[in-house]
Chain A
Amino acid sequence: MQLTNRSKQVADTKMTWMERIYLPGIIKGMIITFSHIFKKKPTIQYPEVQRPIAPVYRGQHVLKRDDAGAERCTACGLCAVACPAEAITMVAEERKQGEEKLYREEKFAATYEINMLRCIFCGLCEEACPKEAIFLTDRIVPTTYLREDYIYGKDRLVEKMDHRVDVSKRQTNNLADFKNNSSKAHNKTI
Chain B
Amino acid sequence: MLSTEIIYKIILILAVFTVTLVVALYSTFAERKVAAVLQDRYGPNRAGPLGMFQPFADGVKMFTKEEFIPGNADKQLFILGPSIAMLTCLMTGAVIPWGGDLTIGDYIFKLQVTDINIGILYLLGVVSVGVYGIMIGGWASNNKYSLLGALRASSQMISYEIAMGLALIALVMMTGSLSLGEIVRQQDEGLANIVYQPLGFLIFLVCAFAETNRAPFDLPETESELVGGYHTEFSSMKLGFYLFSEYINMFISSALIATLYFGGYNFPFQHSLGIEGNALSIVQTVVFFGKIFFFIFFYMWVRWTIPRFRYDQLMKLGWKTLIPLAILNLFITGIVIGFKNGFFN
Contact = CB atoms under 8 A, between A and B. Distances in A.
Nearest to A26: B306
Contacts of A40: 40
Q: What is the size category of the interface that chain B forms with chain A?
A: 10 to 19
A179 to B, nearest CB: 46
Contacts of B306: 26, 29
Interface in A32-51: 32-34, 36-37, 39-43, 45
A36 B36 CA distance: 10
Contact of B39 (A26, A36, A45): A36
Given A26-B306, A29-B306, A39 B40 contact: yes
B272 to A, nearest CB: 32
Q: What is the size category of the interface that chain A forms with chain B?
A: 10 to 19
Contact of B40 (A29, A34, A36, A45): A36
Nearest to B321: A21
Given A26-B305, A26-B306, A33 B41 contact: no
A43 B305 contact: no
B42 interface: yes
Nearest to B37: A37
B42 A33 contact: no
B162 to A, nearest CB: 20
A43 B40 CA distance: 8
A91 interface: no
B43 to A, nearest CB: 10
B204 to A, nearest CB: 15
A118 to B, nearest CB: 32
Nearest to A47: B46
Given A41-B42, A45-B42, A30 B305 contact: yes
Interface of B: 37-42, 301-302, 304-306
Given A26-B306, A33-B38, A45-B42, 6 more contacts: A29-B306, A30-B301, A30-B302, A33-B301, A36-B37, A36-B39
10 contacts: A30-B301, A30-B302, A32-B305, A34-B38, A34-B301, A36-B39, A36-B40, A40-B40, A42-B40, A43-B41
